[in-house]
Structure 1
Amino acid sequence: MMKTPEAFEVPTQVRDMAEKGVEQARKAFDEFVVAANDAAAKVEGSAETMRNGAADLNKKALSATEESVNASFDLATKLVKAKDLNEAMELQTAYVQSQMQRFGEVAREMGEAATKAAADATAKK
């Protein structure tokens, strides 16, 4: 004949320790989830800021390119109407000077925009 097993009782101290362990593990996990969500939000914010900064730089570059192409077409139109080689050389010289000046301005603007984008991304961290 089989004996019926006796009821097994977990001592109160062991049960209390196990409950505290589970509570501590749950609390630690909840804190981990909060920290992970915070980190993900910061990364997302920085990435969005960088995307916005890159989009601004792209717009500036596109605008500068469009300006330059339009200036080139203007020069071509003026050169076609030039009366002599002297006038053509003067037009070309004025064009090169204005393009070099504009290039310096664009480089400064692009540098400022890149610096701002990097500062904004860093500030979001």
Structure 2
Amino acid sequence: MADKTAFEIPEQMRAFADKSVDQAKKAFDEFMGATVKAVENSETSAKTLQSGARDVNRQALAFLEANVAASFEFAQKLVRARTVEELGQIQQDFLARQVETVQSQGKHMAETIGKAASDVQQQTKK
């Protein structure tokens, strides 16, 4: 069996990278909080349209937050990897999960947008 190829990252660099990822995640979490608040404050259109837009916005924000959280988790795993093989496996696993996630999110978003459009159409017929 092939030997694992080791590589050394100085502990200070690893700690710095880990801290940087944590700081970026904290900044993103604050951004998401402000964005969610801004989206909630900006929903002032007609009641039916507002409800549909709110559903779409919330779902989009939830997907964004989930995708960014997965990316931060991925970054932390990369920083903590000890071998080139481990890096490759982490990358492969992440990409496979992201493909599944994007497909699922696209399906859910299409359903939500379709429902919102249908609701608006129903309301305008009244």
Structure 1 counterpart of 2:80, which letter? Answer: K
CA distance in 2, matches of 1:67, 1:89: 22
- Rg comparison, structure with higher value: 1
Give 1:77 deviation, angstroms. 1.0
Uncovered stretches (5+) of structure 2, i.e. residues with no partner: 1-44
The answer to whether the 8 Å contact 1:47/1:121 transfers is no
CA distance in 2, matches of 1:85, 1:54: 45
Give 1:99 deviation, angstroms. 0.8
Uncovered stretches (5+) of structure 1, i.e. residues with no partner: 1-45
The answer to whether the 8 Å contact 1:56/1:113 transfers is yes
TM-score, normalisation: structure 2: 0.60
Q: Deviations over 1:42-82 (max 9, x none)?
A: xxxx9321221111111011000100111011111111111
- Runs of 4+ in structure 1 off by over 6 angstroms are none
SS in 2 for 1:83: coil
Size of the alignment, in residue pairs? 80
CA RMSD of aligned residues (A): 1.4
Give 1:106 deviation, angstroms. 0.7
TM-score, normalisation: structure 1: 0.60
**Identical amino acids, percent of aligned pairs:** 36
Q: Does structure 1 residue 75 correspond to structure 2 residue 74?
A: yes
